[in-house]
Amino acid sequence: MIQFRRILRRYAGLLAVLGMLLLLLPLGLAQGAAPGWNQDTGPQTGAIDVVLDSVTVVAGQPFSTVLHVNNVPAVTTPPFGGLGYYTVKVTYDPAKLGFPLPTGSPPCGVTSLSTPFTGNMVVNCSAGAITASSSQITSQVGPSGNVSLLKYSGTAIGPVGATAVITITSQGIGDPNGHPFTVNQITNGTITIVAPPHISVSPNPLVQTLFLNQTAIQTLTVANTANIGASNLTWSVAESPAVGWLSEAPTSGTVASGGNQPVSVTFNSTGLAQGAYNTNLVITSNDPDGSPMSVPVTLQVSDQVVTIASEAVAQGGTKTESVTATGIDSPGLGGYQLKLLFDPAVVHVQGFVGGTSPFDTVLATNINNVVGFAVWNGLQTTVAPGPTGAILLSKVILQAVGPPNSCSPLNLEVIGLVDTNGQVIPSVAVAGPVCVRIPLVVTSWTSGVDQDGCAGARSALVKVVDPVTPQPSMPEVMLQAYNASQTYPSALLHVLDVRLKAPFGTGTVTIDNPNGSAQFNASAPGGALWPVDPLAFATLSLEGTVSDVVNTSLQFSALPDGNGFPLSAPGPMQRTYRRGDAKADGTLFISDALFIAQLNVGLRPPGDGPDQVNPVNAASIKHDAGCDKVTAADVLLLAQYLVGIRDGNFNLLSVAVPPAR
């Protein structure tokens, strides 16, 4: 035993070393992941796919493609698993593709994408072939699943339209045990070589003139003018310098060869002072020869504006529209030249009239009603400095030739606006559509007293308006003739006479009281401008009792204008009467007698309004010869009715009765 202990003490160091070697043996086997290191040479289970990406590249431009090892099993022989080593060789046509030399960076254009293999990778290449190999000794379990392994970076030599295939000719890929994987499928990479994109941008430059606090949108078109089949154009736009009065949408995009993409460029002069504002739209793209591209942008903010009125024109009629310049500063306006574009199927330009002095003469005109444009100018040499502020430059005479409700734009262009020194005045033009309308005639029908004191109803032409939006008046429209018809209950109301008034004093009147109808028409040779008040006056007499409410209506029809085109007639107008109800409040009272008395002495006017005396209701109390007139007798008879000595027809009672109220 003692001898054995001596032997142990003598060889203790050697035994410790042997023990450490035995402990390190498994680790050494794990690190020996390259083929031949591990004594276990059994086949690895599972099947992998080796895939090289296909890409499209512009001729002469660099490209990259990635090699992937997919479906790598995680652990098959514990504790080892995953990807442990690889050797991959690819071949290609050196006439179409180029890769760096072995001394390049990265060598042969190959970059490791998987960290465990980066430090060990060895790359060899020659014209047409690249071999890369590596093993990982840092982990017992390598990457698994789908592994992006290598990136190949080269240059597409060409020619355009060529297809180059990078072929995976051999591979050895296995786990950390040195077991090779079974390869299920190999997908080679196809490099399609195409022509570069070619960017074209229009319009270039962008120029916009705005009045104060206006906005406008222009369309900038980004086009890829390369032949079909060339590379897509990718682009982005940015302002240089960035400004607050401009915006773009969209700010980036992709355009196929032969295509284009619109960009809305919005100008906004809100809050800006008068003057010129500038920036650039810098467009960056993948066009190798056209990037970056700069588009100068100018916004001219002006308080000088030229406007043309754009109201409706009556069918077949003419209208004179004013053209006005405003905001003209010193040294004043010296001359102008303008252009008007319009739809000749809707309106024609008949001519021009001068504006205010010193622009009271139009110098030269060019009118084309076939194409639809008119150009005219004017200048002044009599005033120095010239006029400033708002100036009536001229008037345009428009004729409506289109059908009702047709519209034409009036696109006004300022070709030139110059001051008395011949310097251009920055300005903008403002115009709108002009539409052909069938004008609507607005009439009135009111109770009144004619010149001889007869009570009745007065009809009048109040105005002529555009019936669409929002009924602006049309002062140039004349009325040539009219037909009118009044209807009423024959037992309760009679029309005694219809008096036609100048300028519509010529016409016919037909009164049929048994049937409750009065027809009258009149004309004015050459037509008459509105207003016309009165057109006619009908003397009326109420025949019923104080209890009868009498409704009557008046309808106009057949209203031709001065050119013979029809005008729209208004709807029927209504009037309601009640004998003796001077206040027209639905009752008979002493206040009605008071109102009549005040009318007789001039303290209260006749009419249908509040605090007026309805002359038909008042004058019909006592029927007079020829026509009913408001007199003191009407006051007396009403007062007698109120105290019960006259009946509802204002006839004297033989026996008095208590008053109705």
Average pLDDT over residues 16-45: 36
Most confident of the ranges 124-128, 164-168, 475-479, 624-628: 624-628
- The rounded distance, in Å, linking the Cα atoms of 265 and 584 is 65
- For residues 533 and 461, is the Cβ–Cβ distance under 8 A? yes
- The rounded distance, in Å, linking the Cα atoms of 61 and 46 is 39
| Residue 181 and residue 230 in one domain | no
- Residue 39 inside a domain? The answer is no
In order of 356, 408, 576, 581, the CA distances from 340 in angstroms are: 20, 12, 53, 61
Give me 404's structure tokens: 């009702």
Amino acid, res. 235: W
Of the candidates 431, 433, 441, which has an alpha carbon nearest to the alpha carbon of residue 466? 441
The model's pTM: 0.55
- Cα radius of gyration rounded to whole Å, the chain: 50
**Concatenated DSSP letters of 75-128:** -SBTTBBS--EEEEEEE--TTTEE---TTSSSGGGEEE-SHHHHTT-EEEEETT
- Residue 476 inside a domain? The answer is yes
Confidence class for position 31, pLDDT limits 50, 70, 90? very low
pLDDT tens track for 312-359: 899 999 999 999 998 888 899 999 999 999 999 999 999 999 999 999
Q: What is the pLDDT of residue 228?
A: 86
Q: In the predicted model, what is the mean pLDDT of the chain?
A: 88
SS (H, E, C) 465-505: ECCCCCCCECCCCEEEEEEEEEECCCCCEEEEEEEECCCCC
pLDDT tens track for 449-466: 999 999 999 999 999 998
- The rounded distance, in Å, linking the Cα atoms of 128 and 312 is 79
pLDDT tens track for 189-227: 999 999 999 999 999 999 998 877 789 999 999 999 998
Cis amide linkage into residue 489, ω under 30° from 0: no
- For residues 232 and 275, is the Cβ–Cβ distance under 8 A? no
| Residue 91 and residue 118 in one domain | yes
| Residue 452 and residue 551 in one domain | yes
Please identify, among 233, 266, 291, the residue that sits at the C-terminal boundary of a domain.
Answer: 291
| Residue 433 and residue 451 in one domain | no
- Residue 298 inside a domain? The answer is no
Number of structural domains found in the chain: 4
107-116, 609-618, 633-642, range with the lowest pLDDT: 107-116
The residue segments making up the domain with residue 405 are: 305-437
- The rounded distance, in Å, linking the Cα atoms of 538 and 534 is 11
- On the question of pLDDT at 34 being above 80, the answer is no
- Residue 166 inside a domain? The answer is yes
Please identify, among 540, 555, 577, the residue that sits at the C-terminal boundary of a domain.
Answer: 577
| Residue 77 and residue 99 in one domain | yes
Q: How many Å separate Cα 302 from the centre of its chain?
A: 23
- On the question of pLDDT at 38 being above 50, the answer is no
pLDDT tens track for 268-308: 999 888 889 999 999 999 998 999 999 999 998 877 788 88
- On the question of pLDDT at 407 being above 50, the answer is yes
- The rounded distance, in Å, linking the Cα atoms of 494 and 516 is 7
- On the question of pLDDT at 634 being above 90, the answer is yes
Give me 349's structure tokens: 């330009």
Q: What is the pLDDT of residue 110?
A: 95
Strand-pair category, 373-379 with 440-449: unpaired
Edge-to-edge, what's the strand order for the sheet holding 517-529?
A: 506-512, 517-529, 478-487, 550-557, 573-577
64-73, 160-169, 372-381, range with the lowest pLDDT: 160-169
| Residue 351 and residue 406 in one domain | yes
| Residue 229 and residue 352 in one domain | no
Between 34 and 398, whose confidence is greater? Answer: 398
| Residue 317 and residue 397 in one domain | yes
- For residues 511 and 486, is the Cβ–Cβ distance under 8 A? no
Counting every residue, how long is the chain?
661
- The rounded distance, in Å, linking the Cα atoms of 507 and 165 is 99
Please identify, among 233, 262, 291, the residue that sits at the C-terminal boundary of a domain.
Answer: 291
pLDDT tens track for 127-177: 899 999 998 866 667 889 999 999 999 999 978 888 889 999 878 898 888
Helices (H) and strands (E) in the chain, counts: 6, 44
φ/ψ of 428, rounded to 5, equals -125, 155
| Residue 56 and residue 186 in one domain | yes
Question: What CATH number does residue 458 fall under?
Answer: 2.60.40.680
- The rounded distance, in Å, linking the Cα atoms of 321 and 432 is 12
- For residues 269 and 301, is the Cβ–Cβ distance under 8 A? yes
φ/ψ of 618, rounded to 5, equals -75, -45
Amino acid, res. 425: I
pLDDT tens track for 557-584: 999 998 889 999 999 999 999 999 999 9
